[in-house]
Amino acid sequence: MSIVGKGRILTGDRPTGRLHLGHYVGTLVNRVKLQNEYDTFILIADVQALSTHWKNPEHMPDIIRQVVLDYLSVGIDPSRSKICVQSMIPEIAELTVVYGLFTRMNKLRHNPTLKTEAKSYGYMSGDDLIAGFDKLTYGFFGYPISQAADITFVRANLVPVGEDQVPHIELCRDIVGRFNQLYGKGEEIIPIPQALVGDIPRLRGLDGQSKMGKSLGNAVYLSDDDEAIDTAVMKAVTDPQKIRKNDPGHPEVCNVFAYHQVFSAPDEVEQIACDCRNGTLGCVADKRRLAHVLKELINPFREKRAFWEKRPEDVDDILKSGTAAAKAEGEETMTRVREAMNIRYW
């Protein structure tokens, strides 16, 4: 199929660790589906990850490799999706500088995702990012501008992401709109992208409290073996009012049930709800069922992962050729940007 006329996707992840079920449900499933219909670029945003992890850059090569294996294991097809590395594409940094020229600080200051993250990293105490200026770095504060450059250096028009990313896509739309208005003379130099948020509600961590994360120890990873899945699921929090096995439960407040709703077959989900309510299904048995379903999902991922793990040079080639293809698009974009701005001097 020809790529001409296809829409273009750019999406990506921060390489801060292995990817987990939250990534899978929130965006990876969507990407696997969409790669057949769209010209797809998947960006491993290492510079963005370093905006919080700059003290430990030495882990980056290994983490990037793990993330690529995660992608390949769930069915990202390198012949359809171009996987690329942010820091190896200087055009992204160039475009970030351009966007920073006319983006006001207040656009960043009120970004809810930036605020939540700043709090979780301890960069901010009160409710205003300004109060954290002592600790906040320029790179972290400005990463949403860099993310706008991530999306637009390939001139993407669709961005499949989790819902927490929507404020960043909105900022991107705003920036591109301004850019076109300032320099486009009525022409759209850079397309205005749209967010595509998956329709599955966000998965909480197995503890039911917060989002999934390595630091929180409440995640199931796409590379987990059966034992790790068992351990994670058995630690999960269920309905606090169901203390003994035969107590009638309340699936609507149970986080394990929330997982069943996402991962188990619809008729099973109904049966589980019914058996839990009438007290015939205990929490331990219920968790075993969930662990089983998750293993069925993840085992094929692990097999595919093992296939690629044995071919490290092919994995390198996938990353190199994806990055080269993305960089070529970035060069084209920067030519257009420089021309529009009259800064293409020779």
Q: Would you say 13 or 286 has its CB closer to ligand TRP? A: 13
Does residue 11 belong to the site contacting ligand TRP (CB under 6 A)? yes
The contact mask relative to ligand TRP for 15-44 (x = CB under 6 A, - = no) is ----------------------------x-
CA distance to 3, 89, 98, per residue, from 334 (Å): 21, 12, 10
Q: What is the DSSP letter of 159?
A: E
Among 64, 98, 159, 273, binds ligand TRP (CB under 6 A): 159
Q: Would you say 96 or 165 has its CB closer to ligand TRP? A: 165
Instruction: Please state the closest distance from residue 45 (CB atom) to ligand TRP, in A.
Output: 4
Instruction: Please state the closest distance from residue 213 (CB atom) to ligand TRP, in A.
Output: 12
Among 12, 78, 142, 205, binds ligand TRP (CB under 6 A): 12
Per CB under 6 A, the segment of 12-20, 131-139, 217-225, 228-236 that binds ligand TRP is 12-20
Instruction: Please state the closest distance from residue 81 (CB atom) to ligand TRP, in A.
Output: 14
Instruction: Please state the closest distance from residue 147 (CB atom) to ligand TRP, in A.
Output: 4
Rounded CA-CA distance 160/180 in Å is: 23
> Of 267-296, which residues contact ligand TRP (CB under 6 A)?
none
Q: Would you say 31 or 260 has its CB closer to ligand TRP? A: 31
Instruction: Please state the closest distance from residue 264 (CB atom) to ligand TRP, in A.
Output: 27
Q: Would you say 14 or 242 has its CB closer to ligand TRP? A: 14
Rounded CA-CA distance 270/261 in Å is: 9
Q: Would you say 19 or 315 has its CB closer to ligand TRP? A: 19
Among 40, 48, 152, 264, binds ligand TRP (CB under 6 A): 48
Tell me how far the alpha carbon of residue 191 is from its chain's centroid. 22
Instruction: Please state the closest distance from residue 290 (CB atom) to ligand TRP, in A.
Output: 26
Q: How is residue 248 written in tokens?
A: 């009638």
3 state SS of 124: coil
Of 148, 98, 169, which Cα lies nearest the Cα of 335? 98
Question: For tokens 């995640």, what's the residue?
Answer: 219
> Of 135-154, which residues contact ligand TRP (CB under 6 A)?
147, 150-151
Instruction: State the helix-helix crossing angle for 166-183 and 90-102, rounded to 10 degrees.
Output: 80
Instruction: Please state the closest distance from residue 169 (CB atom) to ligand TRP, in A.
Output: 8
3 state SS of 331: helix
CB burial class (10 A; 0-12, 13-18, 19+) of residue 176? buried
Q: How many residues does the chain have?
A: 346
3 state SS of 93: helix
Among 19, 28, 34, 45, binds ligand TRP (CB under 6 A): 45
Does residue 161 belong to the site contacting ligand TRP (CB under 6 A)? yes
3 state SS of 231: helix
Q: Would you say 82 or 287 has its CB closer to ligand TRP? A: 82
Q: Would you say 48 or 87 has its CB closer to ligand TRP? A: 48
> Of 162-221, which residues contact ligand TRP (CB under 6 A)?
165
Instruction: Please state the closest distance from residue 327 (CB atom) to ligand TRP, in A.
Output: 16
- 160 forms bridges with which residues in the sheet? 196
204 near 180, Cβ under 8 Å?
no
Contacts of 260-268 with CB under 8 Å at 24 or more apart are: 260/286, 260/289, 260/290, 260/293, 262/25, 262/200, 262/201, 262/203, 263/290, 263/293, 263/294, 263/297, 264/289, 264/290, 264/293
Contacts with ligand TRP, residue ranges (CB under 6 A):
10-14, 43, 45, 48, 147, 150-151, 159, 161, 165
